[in-house]
């Protein structure tokens, strides 16, 4: 009886040991929901409504220490972003013009949108272990984005439905500094731009359009 009990205990111990992966990695899918705040706006340009971003992708975790709580993350993802504001983008004689709309009563919608493929690179610190699934994390790094598609949309008195697609005034490459911090399932996410949205453009009033987008929100990691 005692011998059988010892054998069962040893067997359970071996099973428990094999279930813990001492070479674990935090490979993760991620989804992030952000509020997109425009900074460095030209004179009299304002945001209206809710400007949002949705980001989805996968990050490969590469631990760089024995405890495996410090790592480099390399990823691939996509994002879609919308910006509601009063900067009207139109085409005039094959030239793109930016006009500040001064009376909000003259239109019901004015926005531009972008769809990007993104390449995040992170330095990752966490309090995780091979058997801990809730832990503190701080991930910081940079993100390179390439604009695959852009669109502008206006509804109002100037035109019942005015749209432009894939105009060449956007910067094709978008660079940003990223910071994420949280515990368990809840992580705040911050995306700080390193270059402007548009490529050396001016408004019809002569103001330089040096707008950048600060993205603030939550990011969820799925193991």
Per-residue pLDDT in tens (0 to 9) along the chain, 223 residues: 444 444 444 444 444 444 556 678 889 999 999 999 999 999 999 998 899 999 999 999 999 999 999 999 999 999 999 999 999 999 888 889 999 998 776 788 999 999 999 999 999 999 988 887 789 999 999 999 999 999 999 988 755 678 999 999 999 999 999 999 999 989 999 999 999 999 999 999 999 999 999 999 999 999 7
Which stretches of the chain are assigned E, i.e. beta strand? 28-39, 52-63, 70-84, 87-92, 95-100, 107-126, 136-156, 162-165, 173-183, 186-193, 201-202, 208-209, 212-222
> Could you give the 3-state DSSP secondary structure of residue 9?
helix
Q: Domains along the chain?
A: 24-222 (2.40.160)
């Amino acid at each position: 009886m005692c011998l059988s009990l010892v054998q069962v205990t040893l067997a359970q111990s071996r099973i428990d040991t094999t279930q813990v992966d001492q070479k674990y990695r935090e490979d993760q899918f991620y989804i992030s929901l952000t509020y997109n705040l425009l900074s460095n706006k030209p004179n009299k340009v304002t945001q209206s409504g809710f400007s949002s971003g949705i980001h989805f992708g996968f990050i490969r975790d590469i631990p760089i220490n024995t405890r495996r709580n410090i790592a480099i993350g390399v990823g691939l993802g996509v994002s879609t972003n919308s910006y509601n504001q009063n900067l009207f983008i139109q085409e005039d004689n094959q030239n793109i013009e930016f006009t500040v709309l001064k009376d909000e009563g003259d239109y019901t919608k004015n926005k531009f949108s972008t769809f990007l493929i993104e390449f995040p690179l992170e330095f990752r610190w966490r309090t995780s272990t091979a058997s801990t699934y809730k832990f503190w994390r701080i991930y910081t790094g940079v993100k390179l984005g390439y604009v695959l598609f852009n669109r502008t949309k206006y509804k109002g008195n100037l035109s019942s439905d005015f749209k432009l697609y894939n105009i060449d005034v956007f910067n094709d490459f978008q660079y940003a500094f990223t910071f994420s911090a949280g515990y368990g399932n809840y992580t705040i996410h911050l995306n700080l731009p390193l270059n402007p949205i548009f490529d050396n453009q001016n408004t019809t009033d002569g103001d330089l359009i040096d707008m950048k987008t600060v993205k603030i929100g939550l990011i969820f990691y799925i193991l």
